[in-house]
Amino acid sequence: MRDYQSLVHTTWDCKYHIVFIPKRRKKVIFGMIRKHLGKVFHELAAQKNCQIVEGHLMPDHVHMCISIPPKYSVFYVVGYIKGKSAISIARRFTGKSRNFTDGYFVSTVGLDEEMVREYIQHQEKEDEHYDQL
């Protein structure tokens, strides 16, 4: 049986596969920034009653499978996470507050959650394979 969540008058299971990239697709997500962002993304998601089910930070993009309550739009949550994490990076590392592009990719997970989670987990190996070709 699926793990449904509840609000006062709603039972729901809304999960999305989201991908977004740094400005000019620069390979800037590594080392201390990578460790910092992982924690920050989870904290920001929790502030909006969201949960990152699976996530992976690549040097030039971010993959996450996130559960978002129906009271929030995907646009709002992604914008919140990207904006607040960019401010956090600026304060701690670079001084620039615009780290991510405005756009993002989103797809509903639906009944294929396990397949999406597996894809996110193995994304780095796939990229290494294509780089070798």
Of the candidates 4, 76, 80, 119, the residue annotated as catalytic is 119
- Domain of residue 103 covers 5-132
Q: What is the pLDDT of residues 64-113, one digit of tens each?
A: 999 999 999 999 999 999 999 988 888 888 766 667 888 999 999 877 77
- pTM for the full model? 0.80
Identify whether the C-beta of residue 66 lies closer than 8 Å to the C-beta of residue 53: yes
In CATH, what number is assigned to the domain containing residue 50?
3.30.70.1290
Number of domains in the chain: 1
Residue that the structure tokens 């394979």 belong to: 129
Identify the burial level of 91 via C-beta atoms within 10 angstroms of its C-beta, where 0-12 means exposed, 13-18 middle and 19 or more buried: exposed
Cβ neighbours of residue 133 closer than 8 Å, sequence gap 6 or more: none
User: Would residue 104 show up in a list of annotated catalytic residues for this protein?
Assistant: no
